[in-house]
């Protein structure tokens, strides 16, 4: 069953946004708590529209380089085999920071580039933390089923886990509903949208 998350709550990851922008603790000479760029982050939040979808897919069989899932999905990848070894299900998650922030960045690049750069970092970090949030929800629920998640998550395009599978996940996760489209080169649009998979193990 697909689970859509429309209202996702994460604290603004200031630390990570600053780090992405090159801030170094004790070296960068700007007041971290009170500077105009912190206001940019707060302003940018209004354009962030975090959404996510997740799906648990039971694993039928794993061999040396392929994973067979319920519903005839077969993925050939040694990296995925190694991630899912010992798992009973795969958890697929997609997240997006939404279209509005990307449009706003596009507009700002022409008139206020510094703001655009901050918005870009904000959107990236929010989408990344969104994964952690969805994982947190599943961790809580899986505990009750005596199951747990693998520590690692991977995405299509890593090592031999071909980017082409992104198209399959796009369909399975019904990402159109999140306002995401996919290019012929398997890139998700808008930017700051991503898919990742984890394994579900029995304890």
Partner 1 sequence: MKNRIISLFKKRIVLLDGALGTELHKLGMPDGVSPELWCLENPNVLSDLHLKYINSGSDIIYTATFGANRLKLSLFNVKKDVSDINKRLALIAKEVSSGCLVAGDIGPLGKFIKPFGELDFEEAVDIFKEQIKGLLLGGVDLFVIETMMDIQEARAALLAVKELTDKFVITTMTFQNYGKTISGNDPISSLITLQSLGADAFGLNCSTGPQDMVKIIKLLKPYSNIPLVAKPNAGIPTVLNNKTTFNMSPIRFSYFGEKLVLAGANFIGGCCGTTPEHIALLNKKIKNLKPIQPKNKKFSILTSPKKFVEFKDNFIVIGEKINPTNRKELQEDLKKEKFTTLRYLAKEQEKHKASLLDVNVSFLGVKEKELIKKAISVLVNITELPLVIDSSDLNTIKEALRFYPARALVNSVSLNKNTEELLSIIKKYGAMFIILPISKKIPKDFKEKKDIIKEIIKIAKKFGFTKEDFIIDGLALTISSNENSAIEALKVIKWANKVLKAHTTIGLSNISFGLPKRDIINRVFLGLAKKAGLSSAICNPKDNKPIKNKIVEDLLFAKKGALEKFIKYYSKKSTKTKKVSVSIEDRLFNAILNGEKDIIVELLDEALLKFKAQDILNSYLIPAIIKVGDLFEKKEYFLPQLILSAETLKKAIEHLKPHFEKENIDIKKGKILLATVEGDVHDIGKNIVGLLLKNYGFEVIDLGKDVKSKKIISAIKKYLPDVVGLSALMTTTMLNMKKVIELSKRHKLNPKFILGGAVVNEPFATSLGASYAKDAVSAVKAIENLVKK
> Which residues here bind partner 1, judged by CB under 8 A?
1, 4-7, 9-11, 18, 21-24, 27-30, 37, 39-40, 42-43, 45-46, 86, 88, 105, 109, 112-114, 116-118, 120-121, 133, 136-137, 140-141, 143-148, 157-158, 163, 183, 185-187, 189, 191, 201-203
- Write down the least CB distance from residue 65 to partner 1, Å: 20
* CA-to-CA dists, residue 109 to 22, 32, 35, 113, 119, angstroms: 19, 24, 21, 5, 10
Locate 13 and state its tokens: 């990851």
Closer CB to partner 1, residue 153 or residue 201?
Answer: 201
**By C-beta, is 40 or 172 nearer to partner 1?**
40
CA distance 89 to 56: 6
DSSP 176: G
Nearest distance, CB of residue 85 and partner 1, angstroms: 10
- Supply the minimum distance, in Å, between the C-beta of residue 73 and partner 1: 20
Residue 160's nearest CA partner among 70, 63, 81, 57 is: 81
Q: Is the CB of 103 or the CB of 145 nearer to partner 1?
A: 145
Minimum distance from CB of 168 to partner 1 (Å)?
15
Nearest distance in Å: CB 201, partner 1: 8
Q: Which is nearer to partner 1, 87 or 92 (CB)?
A: 87
Q: What tokens were used for 107?
A: 């507009």
**What is the C-alpha separation between 98 and 110, in angstroms, rounded?**
21
Distance CA 199, CA 153 (A): 8
Q: Toward partner 1, which CB reaches closer, 21 or 73?
A: 21
Rounded CA gap, 125 and 5, in Å? Answer: 18
Q: What angle do CA 179, 185, 191 make, to 5 degrees?
A: 40
């Amino acid at each position: 069953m697909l689970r859509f998350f429309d209202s996702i709550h994460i604290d603004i990851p200031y630390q990570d946004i600053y780090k992405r922008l090159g801030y170094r603790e004790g070296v960068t000479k700007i007041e971290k708590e009170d500077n105009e760029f912190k206001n940019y982050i707060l302003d940018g939040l209004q354009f962030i529209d975090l959404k996510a979808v997740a799906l648990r897919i039971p694993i039928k069989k794993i061999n040396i380089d392929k994973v067979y899932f319920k519903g005839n999905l077969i993925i050939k990848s040694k990296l995925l085999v190694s991630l899912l070894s010992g798992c009973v299900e795969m958890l697929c998650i997609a997240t997006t920071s939404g279209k509005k922030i990307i449009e706003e960045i596009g507009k700002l690049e022409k008139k206020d580039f510094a703001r655009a750069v901050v918005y870009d970092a904000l959107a990236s970090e929010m989408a990344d933390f969104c994964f952690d949030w969805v994982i947190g929800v599943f961790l809580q629920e899986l505990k009750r089923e005596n199951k747990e998640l693998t520590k690692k998550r991977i995405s299509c395009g890593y090592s031999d886990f071909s980017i082409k599978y992104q198209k399959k996940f796009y369909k399975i996760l019904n990402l159109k509903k999140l306002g995401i489209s996919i290019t012929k080169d398997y890139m998700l649009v808008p930017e700051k949208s991503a898919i990742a998979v984890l394994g579900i193990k029995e304890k």
